[in-house]
Amino acid sequence: MNTNEPHKLEINGVLDLHYFKPEDLSTLVDEFIDACLEKEIYEIRIIHGKGIGNIRRSVHALLDRNPHVTGYQLAGPSGGGWGATIANLTP
């Protein structure tokens, strides 16, 4: 597998950030939200991992700035717990 090839992202409402570089977050999250809205997906789950929380804080800051996000919270135990965030989007 060539790691230099772009990762094909299925737009299904779930974004797993483990496949991406942290420096790509700012454009990736906004583009993912736009793509979900095009497919009429209004609840998304972003898997940022647990770690020390740097990626989670970055994701939350990006969600705070995105005008399509009406709210977000950490996922419940079956959705990844504090390793994932569920966000609601405005139609």
pLDDT at residue 2, as a whole number = 42
CATH of 14-89, one of 3.30.1370.110, 3.40.50.700, 3.40.50.300, 2.40.50.140: 3.30.1370.110
State pLDDT tens for residues 35-88: 999 999 999 999 999 989 999 999 999 999 999 999 999 998 887 788 999 999
- For 80: left if phi > 0, alpha if psi spans -120 to 50, otherwise beta; the answer is left
pTM of the model: 0.88
Which alpha helices (DSSP H) does the chain contain, by range? 25-38, 54-65
Instruction: List the domain boundaries for the chain.
Output: 14-89
Cβ proximity of 85 and 53 under 8 Å: no
Contact 49, 82 (CB under 8 A): no
